[in-house]
Amino acid sequence: MKVECSSHRMPKFRVLIVDDSSLSREVLRRTLEIDSTLWVVGEAKTGEEAITMVRALKPDLVTMDLNMPGMGGLKAIEVVMRERPTPIVVISERSSTSGVDLNYEAISRGALELVPKSGVFGAGDDDLRRFVERMVMLAEAGVADEKPLPPAAPAPPIPVSTETPVLLGIGASTGGPKALAKLLASLPRDYPLPIAIVQHMAEDFFDSFVRFLRDASGHPVEQATAATRFEVGKVYVAPPRQEMFVRENLTVKLLPPPPNSLISPSVDSLFFSMATTLKGRSIGVLLTGMGDDGAQGLLRMRRMGARTVVQDKASCAVFGMPKAAVELGAAEHVIPLNDIGAFLTRASKGGAITGNNAAYVPSLSRVADTTKDRKVVLVVDDQATALELAKNTLNRAGFEVITLDNPMLVARTLRKNSVDLVVLEPELKTMKASALVQTLRSHGSNTPVLLWSSIDSATLQSRAKECQTSHALRKGDTAELIRTVGRLTRN
């Protein structure tokens, strides 16, 4: 057992590492403390030591190996979650032992996240950076936030379709497995809609997750395939590293993720396809998770007349994705997890939901589908196909788009139009992007600039530095384009 105290540095989040390998603990400590907000306050070699140290140190985050002498990680997770619920990230290399599916057991006992050791030990710099950022966000989820959400401003409601829905779509990330199991278990066995689920999950743990969801919910749960037709009474989960789309005939279309995609499957892919093909004949639910995946897609569903629901802050493990949806005005209702099932049962029948069936309705002032409320994006590119792709993608997401193939006209366009964001190809044939940005700034324009290009990442970052912008994105991932534009134009 190793405990550290410090009087000269007080990082924000306290982390306990549990692993019987001294080398693993050392590598993990050095990796986590890349970020100064993470402070490794203790290291335990067994489950017994972990429980003792959780009681004494009250960490904000615990990393847990599953295979240890004495009390293993599974029992330790169970005790910690019973005595002092704390975000626990399982970092382990073995998925089964003596016929026991360790991943399944870790999820069922309350682990918040599962990370294969290969995702930390020997990973590249970019993967390590993303891992550390994720750990910071998970640690933050373990710290009580006393600040309430600002009250929603009154706004006129958006018309909701009264048609009977034909599909329920649910998206989740961190904390999602247990939230999904609880939600599905609260739905009647004869729930009248097929259910499509996107859960961010490492491929190593996917099969365990599907089995856990099936056993815990009592509903038939299976992996979606290219041959799947959505059937009433069944739950379909998007497979790892595949984007799941819904066709008009309620069949599944699976596509590989775009190049350089960081999130796959994407909740936005599912929700955008539901909005496009089903219009108001669907229901969208966004549960606990970090980041903002699903928020833009839910907004599109909302604008098409679908019912949209997000999990409330108090019942979320991480109020990231639902918060992003609320801030966009994408959530028709914000509901505690325990009450979402009853709401969905009522909503599955179509028609208005009033009286005791109504839930808290947040401000929808940003969702009003009028031109004056839409964010305006100027896309500058000398390739016609890129302009068409950006225009179609962003239009479908609810943005007003102006396209230019002549960079010499940008300054004049900005004088005539109120623009919230410029999306710029840095490798223009007729003008250097840095010169174009300098021209904009010299004319007093502070409009943010997003570089959008197919050039390699290193060159793109170099161009971003030349243009004095921190916003750059490689072409290919349209869902990420929508999320980035939404984030940069958000008030």
Q: Which active-site residues does the annotation give?
A: 173, 200, 293
For residue 197, the surrounding DSSP H or E stretch is strand 195-199
Q: Give Cα 124 to chain centroid, integer Å.
A: 22
Burial class (CB in 10 A: 0-12, 13-18, 19+), 336: middle
Whole-number Cα distances in Å, 183 to 176, 220, 287, 293, 477: 10, 14, 10, 20, 31
Q: Helix (H, G, I), strand (E, B), or coil: what is residue 276? A: helix
Q: Which residue is it, tokens 């489950």? A: 47
Residue 419 · residue 394 · CB < 8 Å: no
Count the neighbouring beta carbons within 10 Å of the beta carbon of residue 289. 28
CA distance 144 to 314: 10
Q: Tokens representing 206?
A: 């996917």
CA distance 375 to 329: 13
CA distance 476 to 480: 9
Buried b (16+ CB within 10 A) or exposed e, 42-71: bbbbbbbbbbebbeebebbbbbbbbebeee
Residue 244 · residue 269 · CB < 8 Å: yes
Count the neighbouring beta carbons within 10 Å of the beta carbon of residue 99. 5
Q: Helix (H, G, I), strand (E, B), or coil: what is residue 238? A: coil
Which residue, 14, 19, 47, 51, is CA-closest to 32?
14
CA distance 174 to 288: 6
Torsion over CA of 465, 469, 475 and 479, rounded to 10 degrees?
150
CA distance 209 to 98: 19
Which residue, 302, 305, 373, is CA-closest to 334?
302
